[in-house]
Structure 1
């Protein structure tokens, strides 16, 4: 029988056996890797999803209901085990589970040049792509990305590939400089002044305030963090109104209105996978790899470790780093 990770209570989890659904339209998948999205999964693990967001926060293949018990996750890479695409490696927005069955349409085959072990970053790359669309970053812009977690680093990586941009990845943790260097992006502990675009992804009051403070006149500030049920303190005095600053929310659950006529979720995911295949340096966003067999014992420690970027779970009998 398949086995899955369930959040069974506040800061509690367990591996549970599952029934594999059957149906003519379902395709079986054997998981190779899944990825832990530390920010969102920490809020779920802590039972901090606001009641008003219980439905909007549901994952495509979530089981149970918030706050718990709930089976949650959205970065699964596996080998298709049945159907016409049998043997292909595909990405699915599915929780941490070793074998599952979904409609064929829910599976996106990986590009041939994308290593399956890196493809666990696909949902994060989708989020970053959506954020950069919301930011309307353009050639020549001075851009600060505040918060060098996975999503922030991917936003900076995308922005740095727009011709003529001056991108700075900002984090109060000096250890993140190594990540920025591996991605070939300038790093700083404080953002530069007079930015055209400021993207905030640190999930902290101080980080959001620094985004506001570094924005130049008529600049665009994109709030990419999600705080769950935590209130946020922000000073909007000083030059905020005189500078006519814009604060824009970004959320991966919807595509920006100006792109919606031509982009759907399937096209966006396919592009995210293509982008991941384009640069081996993106492997730097994988902090560590550990086995699925001990995930119930390891999960709390993984989420609590501030050094964690994307933690990869391997479903193979043996696991090799990083």
Structure 2
């Protein structure tokens, strides 16, 4: 783990340390590149509510960095499918959806959950009150750090459900960040003919090969990678780099009647698609994939509970230790976001510890 104190301070964090067990601290995105810890009163327990003491939470290097950099569209609504997120994402706002902790107190209808280890889709906060129905029990075989990557595994699972990789297909993944690497490792278990990863950071390319990629290339070398095949081009492309320019590259790589699954959220970064060339005649399918919902074509047999159960199983197939590069104290949360911004070549998954 790299010591986050090595990063020069370019942001500020203001911690209001509390000693009252009825108060907690929450992380607030207060402005561009500015986060702080605010005191907040834990809500009065309802009959089915519990108090969770957080042990670890995972930072989403996609959405949270968009918030940190001020790249979320103004008045963008929070994810309405998560009851712990409300309002919009304008400053100041709380965010996060990967908290693991222990139930330390419960209302009269949830006393059976006291002392249980749980996962919650909850913003970064050292202690919080939540309806017990919104908690996920952590299996004994998963440690807290692994469990905190459950949303990442669920997102990767959703990508595979949306893309439907088929036996013998040629698959390309743009982006070997945390979600890209999880997607790569799950794809490597499929009987596809070749898995190629496009990633600018050398260390991430090497990790992609370790995770099962047949080839991992710099974006400058991705032209014509399947042009000598019959039929030419990739069958399936995943764009999970977070970089709008990669979407045009994905269109160039995919073949006739190919599929592109767009897992990136670009925020308010401009995206200029070049649709006047091969795209117009090649019947390319562009599909947005977002974990809040299930593919409409699958809803007859799939729901979010089933997908989540599969994602928990998939966590056992993902090399979580290779993904976690930094563990940062919640009190020093601002350094975690600086590190993700300033040294991405050596930073993947950052965990906040409590």
Task: Show the counterpart of 2:349.
Answer: 310
Are 1:90 and 2:118 matched, yes or no? yes
Task: Show the counterpart of 2:53.
Answer: 30
Task: Show the counterpart of 2:293.
Answer: 254
Gaps of 5+ in 2: 1-22, 106-110, 227-232
Contact 1:143 1:167 in 2 (8 A): yes
RMSD: 2.0
Task: Show the counterpart of 1:319.
Answer: none
Could you tell me how far 1:58 is from its partner in structure 2? 8.0
Equivalent residue for 1:71, pick from 94, 105, 110: 94
Deviates more, 1:52-61 or 1:195-204: 52-61
Could you tell me how far 1:104 is from its partner in structure 2? 1.1
Are residues 53 and 165 of structure 1, via their aligned partners in 2, closer, same or farther at CA, if it must alter by over 3 Å? Answer: farther
Task: Show the counterpart of 1:239.
Answer: 278
DSSP-derived class of the 1:175 partner? helix
Could you tell me how far 1:289 is from its partner in structure 2? 0.9
Instruction: Return the alpha-carbon distance in structure 2 between the equivalents of residues 123 and 65 of structure 1.
Output: 21
Are 1:6 and 2:6 matched, yes or no? no
Instruction: Return the alpha-carbon distance in structure 2 between the equivalents of residues 293 and 52 of structure 1.
Output: 28
Contact 1:7 1:70 in 2 (8 A): yes
Structure with greater Cα Rg: 2
Task: Show the counterpart of 1:188.
Answer: 217
Q: Deviations over 1:137-178 (max 9, x none)?
A: 122211000111111111221211112442122202222123
Instruction: Return the alpha-carbon distance in structure 2 between the equivalents of residues 36 and 237 of structure 1.
Output: 38
TM-score with structure 2 setting the length: 0.83
Contact 2:178 2:349 in 1 (8 A): yes
Could you tell me how far 1:309 is from its partner in structure 2? 1.8
TM-score with structure 1 setting the length: 0.90
Instruction: Return the alpha-carbon distance in structure 2 between the equivalents of residues 288 and 8 of structure 1.
Output: 23
Q: How many residues align?
A: 314
Equivalent residue for 1:293, pick from 307, 313, 331: 331
Equivalent residue for 1:204, pick from 228, 243, 250: 243
Task: Show the counterpart of 1:173.
Answer: 201
Task: Show the counterpart of 2:134.
Answer: 106
Contact 2:256 2:282 in 1 (8 A): yes
DSSP-derived class of the 1:148 partner? coil
Gaps of 5+ in 1: 316-322
Task: Show the counterpart of 2:181.
Answer: 153
Could you tell me how far 1:262 is from its partner in structure 2? 2.5
DSSP-derived class of the 2:144 partner? coil
